[in-house]
Structure 1
Amino acid sequence: MPRLRKVRRLSRRDKIVLALMVAIPTLIELIFVWLPTLMSVGLSFAKWNGLALSDIRGAGLDNYKYVAQSYPPFWPAVQHNVLWLVFLAVIATPLGLLLAVLLDQKIRGSRIYQSIFFVPVMLSLALVGVIWQLFYQRDHGLLNYLLGTAETPSAVDWFGDSNVNIWAALVAATWRHAGYVMLLYLAGLKGVDPALKEAAALDGANAGQTFFRVVFPAMRPINIVIVVITIIESLRAFDIVYVINRGTNGLELISALVIQNLVGEGQVIGVGSALATILLVISLVPIVFYLTRTFGKEAKES
């Protein structure tokens, strides 16, 4: 009969250490994340000049009505966020998947290629915007030099022209997003059981059929994560457009409108808070979906 191992009880010191390890991060999260969030939600129902707290006045839903009905940049910003989502989902994410599949073929120098494609992910979006400004400059940019239009009247002002700057910014965002997706899918491909591929090959499936009917469905958890990440990335897009022109002249995004109303001379705290709350609610949808699917699956398995 196997001997039962004696369970070691936690000492008082262990309990104190564990309590501190839980309490300190929780306190930091409450102070720097949830408290400002709740205050922003509260201010979205108020009018305030940002000075004395005694100047706060209730406004009900007036800020939300103003945003939806009388704030000109709001609906263009919503359209641009939707466009951002569609572009990342249709162009950037499949590109990252393609890179992952190619690099999973054990080609020579695959580690070097992985590092090259992953470098943009390690850069901040603000720095990515600065780098692409050098590429897109009208008179001295690399792209116009390649097109042979640099320093000529026909040179395209890629970031200054409101008809094309959103597309130029999307290409810059894709450069970074595709590398992130590539890394996640590479991890997913490494985790697929080789026996599934062998069984599909024995059944006569070609490489394309094996991937789309066996490998890709087997990466379902990774697919859900990438869908959520893509949605969140499209909503939190801010750095690139703010570096370019502070989110104006064709680059309006909801996140940029929040900063425009919360910072600067023309600040409107209530409107900015209402925009931030709208962005928060929209962002919670994919997060709740992901958590529901994840914990729901675990509950069924248990």
Structure 2
Amino acid sequence: MARRAKYKGIDHLTPVDRVVVGLMIAVPTILVLWLVWVPAIGSVLLSFTNWDGIGPISAAKNVGLRNYHDVLTIYPPFVPALQHNLIWLAVMFLFATPVGMFLAVLLDREVRGSRVYQTAIYLPVVLSLALVGFIWQLIYSRDQGLINAVTGGSIDWYGDQRYNLWAALIASSWRHVGYIMLLYLAGLKGVDPTLREAAKVDGASERQTFFRVVFPVMFPINIIVLVVTVIESLRAFDLVWVINKGRNGLELISTLVTSNIVGEASRIGFGSALATFMLVISSIFIVLYLRIVMREQR
């Protein structure tokens, strides 16, 4: 009866309510199509052309797959950039993500001052990566940085290509840990307490309870964390661009896209081909996530 009443209420919306509901659906849909899908499709189409971005787009010359061939064969920065993206992904997934999960487990115990700790750990997430780069400049600076002041060294952490990638990864992990902590903390709050009580009755330790009971139950959260980590690793741009515009050992695919599209020698088609590589890799994990979510709903 309650379900019938609910459906009856939906069927008897007033004309004004129908307009409001229609606008609430239509406006976000139009914005997503205009700001996300149209540029994405446009980038894919431009990746098959040779266009400098100055003349009319009708003057773009169709070159087929030549841009993709050039990216894979005669563009030296692409392989180092791909390697750096993979290193970025590995560090985020194998270091920052476990640390965020560990902090979430500790804070889930409702220790004294847990709200203060949550705020302090999550605070870097509110900051942009560009601002994170400036903050860590105070630590990494060769002349006035905290590390060199304490150790008495004179290492240019952001300038020396032996260290700058790892320095940038530490700064990025500082922000990523708070994001992962929040996701896992939300997942832990949603776990049925009776599962832990049953495991405790069966004699399972806290470690066994987490890895054999709690962690498998948070499977949807794990998938979200995986997708977020992959996408964040691929689109890492702000921090690296602030440091040195993705040069001297900090090449990433995202910085190559920007340098080719808005650089001195603007190559819209070539940069769009690089962006399409990022789009394809990201789409693989997004499709994987959607399939798992839909399977869980069924």
With structure 1 as the length reference, what TM-score do the two structures score?
Answer: 0.93
1:120-199 mapped onto 2 (5 Å cutoff) = 120-149=124-153, 155-199=154-198
Structure 2 CA distance for aligned equivalents of residues 79 and 56 of structure 1: 32
Structure 2 CA distance for aligned equivalents of residues 116 and 264 of structure 1: 38
Identity %: 57
Equivalent pair of 1:40/1:277 in contact (CA under 8 Å): yes
1:1-302 mapped onto 2 (5 Å cutoff) = 5=5, 7=9, 9-53=12-56, 54-149=58-153, 155-299=154-298
Farther-moved stretch of structure 1 (30-39 vs 226-235): 30-39
Structure 1 CA distance for aligned equivalents of residues 33 and 274 of structure 2: 22
Cα offset for 1:195?
1.4
Query: What SS does structure 1 have at the residue aligned with 2:158?
Result: coil
Q: CA separation of 1:193/1:18 partners in 2, compared to 1, >3 Å: closer, same or farther?
A: closer
Structure 1 CA distance for aligned equivalents of residues 265 and 151 of structure 2: 40
For residues 11-45 of structure 1, give each alpha carbon's deviation from its aligned partner in whole angstroms, at most 9, with x where no partner exists: 33332222222222222222222111111111100
For residues 230-259 of structure 1, give each alpha carbon's deviation from its aligned partner in whole angstroms, at most 9, with x where no partner exists: 111111111110000001110000011100
Opposite residue 178 of structure 1, the aligned amino acid is V
Give ranges in structure 1 of 5+ residues lacking alignment.
Answer: 150-154
Query: What SS does structure 2 have at the residue aligned with 1:49?
Result: coil
Farther-moved stretch of structure 1 (210-219 vs 235-244): 210-219
Structure 2 CA distance for aligned equivalents of residues 196 and 13 of structure 1: 47
Structure 2 CA distance for aligned equivalents of residues 26 and 201 of structure 1: 47
Give ranges in structure 2 of 5+ residues lacking alignment.
Answer: none
Query: What SS does structure 1 have at the residue aligned with 2:197?
Result: helix
For residues 43-94 of structure 1, give each alpha carbon's deviation from its aligned partner in whole angstroms, at most 9, with x where no partner exists: 1000012122232100100000111101111010000000001000110000
Structure 2 CA distance for aligned equivalents of residues 41 and 91 of structure 1: 34
Cα offset for 1:112?
0.4
Structure 2 CA distance for aligned equivalents of residues 94 and 182 of structure 1: 9
Opposite residue 27 of structure 1, the aligned amino acid is I
Cα offset for 1:132?
0.8
Equivalent pair of 1:49/1:55 in contact (CA under 8 Å): no
Opposite residue 26 of structure 2, the aligned amino acid is A
| Aligned residue-pair number | 293
Equivalent pair of 1:95/1:178 in contact (CA under 8 Å): yes
Opposite residue 47 of structure 1, the aligned amino acid is N
Opposite residue 103 of structure 2, the aligned amino acid is L
Structure 1 CA distance for aligned equivalents of residues 192 and 105 of structure 2: 15
Structure 2 CA distance for aligned equivalents of residues 38 and 107 of structure 1: 49
Opposite residue 82 of structure 1, the aligned amino acid is L
Opposite residue 30 of structure 1, the aligned amino acid is L
Structure 1 CA distance for aligned equivalents of residues 284 and 293 of structure 2: 14
Query: What SS does structure 2 have at the residue aligned with 1:82?
Result: helix
With structure 2 as the length reference, what TM-score do the two structures score?
Answer: 0.94
Query: What SS does structure 2 have at the residue aligned with 1:179?
Result: helix
Farther-moved stretch of structure 1 (62-71 vs 207-216): 207-216
Cα offset for 1:229?
0.8
Cα offset for 1:171?
0.3
Cα offset for 1:289?
0.3
Opposite residue 283 of structure 1, the aligned amino acid is S
Query: What SS does structure 1 have at the residue aligned with 2:191?
Result: coil
RMSD, matched Cα: 1.6
Structure 1 CA distance for aligned equivalents of residues 53 and 193 of structure 2: 60
